Amino acid sequence: MSDPLPHALSRPRAAGAAWAMCAMILLALLYGARALPAWPAGIAAWTAGVLLWPRLDRRQKRFAMGLSALGGLALAGAVWQGLAPEWSRLLTQNTALLGMLGAVSFLQLVGLGVGADDLPRGAKARWLTLGGVHLFGAVINMSAIFIMAERISAGGRLSPRQAAVLARGFLAAALWSPFFAAMAVALTYAPGARVGEVVLAGLPLALGVLWLAGRMPVRRDPAAEAEAAFIGFPMRLGALWLPVVLSVAVIVGHAWLPGWSSLGIISAAALGLALLAALAANGLRDGAGRVLRHAEHRLPAMSGEMLLFLSAGVFATGLQALFGAQAGWMPFSHFGPLQAALLLAGMMLLSALGIHAVVSIVMVSAWLAPLSPDPLLLAMIFLQSWAIGLAANPMAGVHLSLQGRFGLSALALARGNLRYCMAAYGLCVLWLAVVGTWRGLW
């Protein structure tokens, strides 16, 4: 999501944004621990957003302004109809979500333990790369893409198939990873969804999607790239300690801290492990220096995510005010697997047209609120629209980043995933039917 060619900020402005984001992370963590209300973190988030505004490119600014304007119009419409919007939501709507994203960013300090191993080739290399970017992307997010792409690119060039494997494997982590932005969005906009249930429901589907991602070629002609020519990432078994330890920390946190929110536990686990690892690996002085440099340089680089979710919060507040007090028109009165499959198809179509999953998630959440939909089923289609829909979205951050760094066409990358996305959608529909049957939602 971050701008691949960011605009520079003045030093005081960048420092102010970094401090504001640090305050947001800590205040959101305290909110997750039920020690503070959400609005102090919201004030810190909006302060950082204002300071980071000049860093956005023209496209990002237009998108944020358009989303906020739509939210403002919805709020005006609600007031005109005599409704009473919850104005505090403008500060609190996505506070916990942004705090989690900031906390998880510190996991970039841990890294992947990349060494000087020879790069593997062939089918095994493809599967190792797919699994590696999936596991590490589930924890350190977009950093895994950059680290692995730089390692496997030949002379600074990445093949379309390498790019597809990285993008598909990374996005599939949205189906289950508690450290992925998609999970924070799903838990925010599917009230009542529990992270443990969502993770368990997403893991089997992720395995099936990964199998499709590795089996389906980018082009119709499977001979376009010889199998033996695929250069992959040298995965090490010892590097898997990070996702394992983090998963255990989240499970233990839910057992020991039942009063904490899911996003609060995830934020604490990510931030705590990242700080401990940095200090243990580099010593107190150097480790603290690395943490401060990350806060100073990497947090402001999240300007795209910050403004996206702040403007999405305005949009969501407006839609919730407009639709919350009265049921709008909808073609069904019940939300089950069939309705979920139809909505997922619509969300994926919007994604293929370049509309980010966050926008469709906010719209569907507000639209379905009067039906009190099953939270697990709702969270599942949100995660599926992120994991599958963004693979076909030319404006997705992963495609734009690969375009900016390696000169690949974001549009061509998205088009190359269309057949894969259609097959993955079929798998999602089958899994929605399974989960819907288990939940008794037919």
- Model confidence pLDDT, tens digit, residues 141-189: 877 887 788 788 766 688 888 999 999 999 999 999 998 889 999 999 9
Closest among 184, 170, 137 to 399, alpha carbons compared? 170
State the pLDDT confidence band at 1, using cuts at 50, 70 and 90.
very low
pLDDT at 51 over 60: yes
- Other C-beta atoms closer than 10 Å to the C-beta of 253 total 18
The C-alpha angle 328, 329, 334, rounded to 5 degrees, equals 95
Residue 165, CB half-sphere, CA atoms under 13 Å: how many?
Answer: 27
pLDDT in tens, 246-255: 888 888 888 8
Let me know: does 395 contact 409? Beta carbons within 8 Å.
no
pLDDT in tens, 288-330: 999 999 999 889 988 888 998 999 999 989 888 887 655 556 7
Let me know: does 203 contact 173? Beta carbons within 8 Å.
no
For residue 44, what pLDDT is reported? 97
What whole-number distance in Å separates Cα of residue 322 and Cα of residue 79? Answer: 9
Look at the block and give the residue holding tokens 């996005």: 171
For residue 173, what pLDDT is reported? 95
Across the chain, mean pLDDT equals 87
Contacts of residue 349, defined as CB under 8 A and 6 or more positions apart, other chains included, come to none
What whole-number distance in Å separates Cα of residue 19 and Cα of residue 300? Answer: 10
What whole-number distance in Å separates Cα of residue 136 and Cα of residue 112? Answer: 8
pTM for this entry: 0.84
pLDDT in tens, 337-367: 999 999 999 999 999 998 889 999 999 998 8
pLDDT in tens, 370-396: 888 999 999 999 999 999 999 999 988
- Other C-beta atoms closer than 10 Å to the C-beta of 119 total 13
Let me know: does 180 contact 398? Beta carbons within 8 Å.
no
For residue 39, what pLDDT is reported? 95
pLDDT in tens, 39-48: 999 999 999 9
**What phi and psi, each to the nearest 5 degrees, are found at residue 48?**
-65, -40
Q: Is 412 exposed, middle or buried (0-12, 13-18, 19+ CB in 10 A)?
A: middle
State the pLDDT confidence band at 112, using cuts at 50, 70 and 90.
low
Instruction: State whether residue 382 is helix, strand or coil.
Output: helix
Q: Which residues pair with 154 in a beta bridge?
A: 157
DSSP 402-418: HHHHH---HHHHHHHTH
